[in-house]
Amino acid sequence: MISFSPSEEQALIVDTLKRFAKDRLRSIFREADENGELPADLLNKGWELGLVGSSIPEQYGGFGEFSAVTGALALEELAWGDLASALALSAPASFAFAVLAAGTEAQREALLPQFSEERFVNATSALIEPRLQFNPRKLQTTATSDGDGYVLNGVKSYVPLASSAEHFLIYAAEDGQTQAFIVPAKTAGLSVGEREKLMGVRALEVARVTLDNVKVAADAKLGGEAGIDFGRLYARSQVALSALAIGVARGAYEYALDYARNRQTFGEAIGQRQSIAFMLAEMLVEIDGARLMVWEAAWKLDNNQEVTRDALMTKHNADKTVLMVCDRALQILGGHGYIREFPVELWLRNARGFTTFDGLAMV
């Protein structure tokens, strides 16, 4: 029997994050975007909610269950509050969840316990490369075996929290296959460039990372000698980003709906006009449909089913949905939609980036 009701634990997590998103993230997102940085205490406040530790099993020092469905529910709520904050809080998860899903037992035991401690662990992942026609399965960043380890060379972009990261998970091509390597931030040859300036998520710090003959030990390869099933990890990222997109879309829809109910012209609310009502109805249909696709793909991940096709379609649909919904929200607000006093223009800028956010989140 299929049930769409969250478990008691999932409902508690969603309720907690919903309150955090409403009380904390919604109160800072506009100022953070204008200033180009998140409040200094935000990451620690979010970390206290146990976003990563609650997904790590007890045997690795955590206090929860690794579930893609739970992760998707959580990310939707965070993105409803603010996408830049959600991506910043997701950076350590993109590292930890990859280790949990694909690491060796030794890697899990060595790396995962720190993610359940009180201190925010600044770990991040680097997949995207600064070139046209970027393909995550055909990376230009290379990993070459030198007998007792690997030498990494290449350039990564869109790396969140790179300037203060303690650990990097670097994706690189080894013999034509995408693999991942655990690289401490102070490793010789790894350098972080200047912050990249983006159209959206302007409060999120992202930077380029250059790898110039970076030498790592053999046990730094995620999954050990056998390596990783990159397609599976990539599907986890696609589902996570889709859940974030639904959160942004839902926020824009709810704002436009409230505006349409309260904005009066010619003696009636603009939401009473058929053209506006039809737009709102279509927005909600697309959001609910996209959310169901996210849940199905996440459920398949949790049940070890083939998910490559589902994750790809889910991501493609979510990318289109968030852009359509945010654009329609701007249209409903009319001239107000283009004014920075209202948040819709910010959400539209953020929505446009989802097609380029590969690897920035994971469930």
The DSSP code sequence of 240-268 is HHHHHHHHHHHHHHHHHHHHHHH-EETTE
Task: Tell me the β-bridge partners of 181.
Answer: 170, 221
What is the Cα–Cα distance from 228 to 217, expressed in whole angstroms?
17
How do residues 286-309 score in pLDDT, each as one tens digit?
999 999 999 999 999 999 999 999
Q: What is the mean pLDDT of residues 11-39?
A: 96
Quote helix, strand, coil % in the chain, to nearest 5.
Answer: 55, 15, 30
- CB within 8 Å of 320: residues ≥ 6 apart: none
pLDDT, position 2: 59
Which of 56, 68, 10 lies closest to 232, judged by CA? 68
- Crossing angle of helices 8-20/68-81, nearest 10°? 20
162: Cβ contacts below 8 Å, ≥ 6 apart: 124, 126, 168, 192, 205, 206, 207, 208, 209
258 CB neighbour count, 10 Å cutoff: 11
pLDDT of res. 164? 95
Residues near 156 by beta carbon (within 8 Å), at least 6 away in sequence: 126, 127, 128, 129, 130, 141, 170, 208, 209, 210, 211
**Is the Cα torsion angle 190, 157, 48, 28 positive or negative in sign?**
positive
**Burial 28-64, CB ≥16 within 10 A → b, else e:** bbbebbeeebbbeebbeebbebbbbbbbbeeebbbeb
Average pLDDT, the chain: 96
What is the CB neighbour count within 10 angstroms for residue 4? 6
In the Cβ-directed half-sphere of 274, how many Cα atoms lie within 13 Å? 0
Q: How far apart are CA 147 and CA 274, in angstroms?
A: 69
Q: Give the pLDDT band (50/70/90) at residue 132.
A: confident
Q: What is the average pLDDT across 182-210? A: 97
The pairing of strands 190-195 and 167-174 is unpaired
**Fold of the domain built from segment(s) 124-226:** Butyryl-CoA Dehydrogenase, subunit A; domain 2 (2.40.110)
Domain edges within the chain: 8-121, 124-226, 230-355
**For the segment 83-99, what is each residue's pLDDT rounded down to a tens digit?**
999 999 999 999 999 99
C-beta of residue 183 within 8 angstroms of C-beta of residue 168: yes
The residues, ordered by sequence, that sit 6+ positions from 315 with a Cβ below 8 Å of its Cβ are 238, 239, 241, 242
State the amino acid at position 205 in one-letter form: E
Q: What is the pLDDT of residue 4?
A: 74
Q: Any bridge partners for residue 124, and if so which? A: 168
What does the pLDDT look like over 245-273, one tens digit per residue?
999 999 999 999 999 999 989 999 999 99
Task: Give the architecture (CATH level 2) of 230-355.
Answer: Up-down Bundle (1.20)
pLDDT tens sequence across 44-73? 999 999 989 999 999 999 998 999 999 999
Q: Give the confidence band of 228 by pLDDT, cuts at 50, 70, 90.
A: very high
Single-letter amino acid code for the residue at 248:
V
> What is the pLDDT, as a whole number, of residue 28?
97
User: Which homologous superfamily does the CATH classification assign to the domain defined by 8-121?
Assistant: Acyl-CoA dehydrogenase/oxidase, N-terminal domain (1.10.540.10)
Residue 137 has pLDDT above 80, yes or no: yes
Q: Hey, what are 245's tokens?
A: 């997109």
Tokens of 82: 């603010």
Phi, psi of 15, rounded to the nearest 5 degrees? -65, -40
Enter the DSSP assignment of 200.
S
* Burial state string for 136-156 with b = 16 or more CB within 10 A and e = fewer than 16: beebebbbeeeeebbbbbbbb
What is the C-alpha separation between 65 and 56, in angstroms, rounded? 6
pLDDT of 1 above 60: no
124-226 matches 230-355 in fold: no
The arithmetic mean of pLDDT across residues 151-173, rounded, is 97
Identify the three-state secondary structure at position 205: coil
* Half-sphere exposure for 131 (CA within 13 Å, toward CB): 13
Contact 88, 204 (CB under 8 A): yes
Average pLDDT of 7-19? Answer: 92
Percent of the chain scoring above 70 in pLDDT: 99
